[in-house]
A and B are shown apart, each in its own frame.
Chain A
């Protein structure tokens, strides 16, 4: 039995040793597992979470080992917010089993528990990995969203991140505390269970031993051993009871702590939920804000880019401008020398402006002269009309002269007849005694004489009338000749004046162009040199002021030196004090006087320069005013269509309607001049004739006297007109002359109208006479007088049919022959046409035949009717 108990004890001890080994193995396996887990997961985890594996491994190992389980992420030095969040989530999702763990009855159960814990850890890790993946995916999604929106990546707002980080940190701390406490509780419970199991096993062993000892009755030693063992057992029991009560207290404390911590955890979870919601809202707002900020930043970036481009362009422009300015600066140094020259030019410009003004006035005067020229040209046209009238009057004069000559010849004939009659009367009176003439013959002769005397008287009266008419015509002729000569003289004078004015206009235009160029160059000089010279003057003033400051500084130094020498004077022993002071005073006074003099000179120079600048400013203002005035004038002219020859060409076709009208007018004027010359020549010839006639003297009796009288009258009229014209020309009273010419023109118009009426009346009379005498009505068919086409209709044709081609002939009169045009009516007279016109070339015979035919047929009808009437009667 003892051997059995010893074996059992040995077995029990070996079993307990084996259990202890198992526990050790469990611990070492858990450590190795945790370490292996850490190493594996560290390899499998994403690069962002190497610390997570370490933390998980540490926490897992803390879940098994009691002492090291209290390590928190903060204690482990976790500072990464992402890692903290993971550890927080890990801690949150780590829910230890609520009930007491199953008693580790064996190593298998321990292993199972470890495996369960490991699986649980893996699940947590997977969850955390999922969460990590989610978070990573959400981060990626947000980064993708930002990238898709073209927004720059931006960290969240610092305040928001700080709040979140603080809350996460608090939550992680609390979770780690809870986990640590739970781990400690589990470890203590497992340790207590192990101890209880060990105590139970020891009790069982002791009971077994007691039973075995009881089976060895009688053994005192064994009884003493049993009593010892029982005492030990009692001691162990007491210790166990103490330990149990202590453990129970610790457990109660832990439970209380767990309850408190769970409460805190719940509070924290609620707070975390609220924070989460708030943070979600804030995150949303932050995202919106980020979006807005990003879009704004984009806009700002775009604007900045555009501004940068604009600034780069501006920079290049400014560089170019700077280069121009530098060039202008160089030019301004040259232009400064030209300032005086410009002043002279300005004076010259003033004088040129005055000249331009006078030129403009001359141009205006030229316009007036042109208008006057136009008026005179109109007067010339009127004079030409008068000249035409004069031609008509000459014709009239010629006819009147013919009539006068015929009247004179008739008067001469009558005078001869009268002389013959008187001779016959004398002869008859001589013969009266001897011969007795019949009373009839005498009376007839006396009647003939009386009629001859009457005719003579009538002829004399007619001659006188004709002479008066001739004299009037000659007077009007001479008047018109004088007017013509005057108009010619005026034309010549005006042409000369026109040539002069054209020459002046050319000169003025050239001068105007020159002045325009001068003004443009002056303006250019003002534009280029104005600012440069001003800057140069300002620079000069600043130099002068700096020089003045230098002089003042020197003066101050001299005064300071003076004061220092005055203070150092008592220490000098070599020179007498008074002489030293006098010398110093002299030096100081000389320096002072030099400084004052220099400052006065500089001040006067500055004042002078300022005056010059003021004057230049005034000149510049005046030039600006001139420039503005000229610009306004140019703008006005530009609006009106003036062209700047520097930029614009004004073009026209050389052959244009205005040019053609001008040429036509020139041609017309040339023709009129030729006609005028011809008329003047004719007038001169007429005057010569009149003078010759007047000089020829009286041919006989009254006729010669009348001729002499008319010539004298004509000469006197011409002389009067010449005198009048010379008076008018001498006075230069053109308006009076124009009025006179107008009156003359009206008179001539009236005369011309009367002549036309008389001509028409005579033409009608002539036509009527032809109609009645020759039996044909003659009408001018064509409007063109040069064509000379006549329609001739017989008086025996019905009046209504006289104008038609069926009852009239058409004749065209040529210079040497007459053409009969073919009509329907001509075909009716074909045989007569052939006989008279074609064969014998006698149109009058043909017309007479036609008339006789008509007359014969009408006479036959009348005679037959008369005969019929006679027969009837």
Chain B
């Protein structure tokens, strides 16, 4: 439906934004990298191979995008000769060589297939097929001819991509995506061979490193690493990356979809404690978006203000009913005078009107919320021990959860701010002013007023600063402290703190307090966690040991017998590492007979009814299938347990 479509488009929008951010980052690193490269070009004649070591962090899957866009970027702006190899496709020297050559020459064929038939084609066609030709000397020959041809094709290239002209001899870039996974021997050999050709071939290596730069030293002996001229590049850490994403997507009133504190905590928790993967975080975001727009019909109202107002006007009766049932709306109704309450509960037109009003106030609330949050963060993030968290997301979660000013941490933070030195406070306040001027809200007037006060502070301070520093002795310090309480700075500082306090108390109300907040906020953290960070084994074991959690009929009565597999599982929990099948079967038969309401003592040893036998067999093979037991040769008619204890 239109709703889904909307969700998709919003998702795409968000994704694009994030991808752009990423691309920007890559561009930056690439740019700095290529600045370097100019230096390297001058060193080309030396026998060292210029090498860029990119330290990218431990989450390998995230790197794929980085490498892809990097390759694209290099290809577009600098050189047509880029080959990217992964460890798993190059287990031996031969394969590595083959891949490198294939990629270098192959890409070229793609570019000018039509015109380069004559001499280029013969190399490119033959090389990948005839492995005999897979040598660096063949590559050199090919490179010579390719660069000779390059003046011919450069105009065409320029037309197509409007890039600055490629250098006279564009470098040949080989990217090793996951350096750690390469076999050291292969790498050493490759580098040794390449170093022999460095005079004819402007090679450049890029190492993708997940752990630390010392890996290179560990993998390559000195004799080999001395052939490389290594430059280190550190990518943005993934936590910073995450912080940017949260900052750009959540701490802004531009996007209306929000997480509740729990959901954000779950996703950040998965990030910090499981995978450090920004991609997964984004996936979580996509999922919650999807869930929100799929499961909350009122999410039509989660869009831009004008649109939302139009949507609110078009709400049908069912939607109005849904609004009336929202807990936040109900709270709102309770606060109204009785006549208004009646109106709100009966007239759908009235509800629509109020709804529009509430939506407006929701927008306004968010417009004020984030600047206030940022100001508070600026002030508290410099405090010792970070009482309100070092990262803005911590403060954000705190503010989402409850009234932040009621927490103990807030009190201590305020106390600490009251003790800030002048220059620290002034820098912070200046930052605050920047933030506030940046977000052009209606409050701005108020703030400019305030900013002038801050200017005052600046003025007032100059004489006192000299005063403070001139007296150094202890006695004087004491006296100074006493007098300082009365200094204009003190008074102003208190005023500032009071103002901030006031700001927080007026604007940092938790969103739950806002009527209709459910429309914007996605709060089902359980769903997110279940879908992203599932625990299949726990689920199976719960199902086995507590079947009634799943199996319930409408009447709420639980029949006495458990499913066969549960009985079998229970019995097997009591065993050691080996289980005697015969005993197991007997035990099962006893239970099953009793479950049927017969006297279990009626069965004689060795006489098990066929059906029970069959059911037992099925249950045991199911347990085997699930991986709880396996057959063993240690003893006849025994199976081995594969789990310990209850788990």
> Do A and B associate with each other?
no
> A residues touching B (Cβ–Cβ < 8 Å)?
none
> B residues touching A (Cβ–Cβ < 8 Å)?
none
